[in-house]
Amino acid sequence: MLFSMLIKASANRELAFLDCAKTCQVEYKGSIILDVETRWNSTHDMLKAALKLEKTFDELEATDSKYRKELEKRQDVPTFLDWEKAREISQFLEIFKASTLHISGSSYVKSNLYLRE
């Protein structure tokens, strides 16, 4: 989600995003989660966080002409269909995230749940 990176690229834009979150009455803690290519669970985390901020992204696009122009220039303006796809992918990845967390207990071995002797 390129538009997430565009928010983090500028301190002024992050402040504008914070103002938009207040306007939309959306909780925003001042940090956008970005995807980490080597950790697929981060894709789920990024999508889940972005979906909570959907109204805020839309508000920023409507009120910040420079942000909107950057999105248009890169042909990355999120559409209704893009948000729907993000919801579907996030729900799909939720299954894998839960499974990963279940298997990855750090203080104990759980492989015996899945592997027979």
Q: Is the pTM of this model over 0.85?
A: no
Length of the chain: 117
- Give the helix/strand (H/E) hosting 82: helix 80-103
Measured CA to CA, the distance from residue 5 to residue 7 in angstroms comes to 5
In a domain, 111, yes or no: no
| Per-residue model confidence (pLDDT) at position 111 | 58
In a domain, 110, yes or no: no
In a domain, 8, yes or no: yes
Of 7-11, 13-17, 55-59, 79-83, give the lowest mean pLDDT range: 7-11
Measured CA to CA, the distance from residue 64 to residue 81 in angstroms comes to 22
Tens digits of per-residue pLDDT, 86-101? 999 999 999 988 888 7
* The two structure tokens encoding residue 109: 């071995």
Model confidence band, residue 20 (pLDDT cutoffs 50, 70, 90)? very high
Measured CA to CA, the distance from residue 84 to residue 102 in angstroms comes to 28
Tens digits of per-residue pLDDT, 29-68? 777 788 888 877 888 988 998 999 999 999 999 999 988 8
In a domain, 114, yes or no: no
* The two structure tokens encoding residue 36: 């980490």
The identity of residue 44, as a single letter, is: H
| Number of domains the chain is built from | 1
| Per-residue model confidence (pLDDT) at position 91 | 95
| Per-residue model confidence (pLDDT) at position 92 | 94
* Domain range enclosing 12: 2-104
Instruction: Please determine, for residue 109, whether its predicted confidence score (pLDDT) is greater than 90.
Output: no
Mean pLDDT score of the chain, rounded to an integer?
83
| Per-residue model confidence (pLDDT) at position 86 | 93
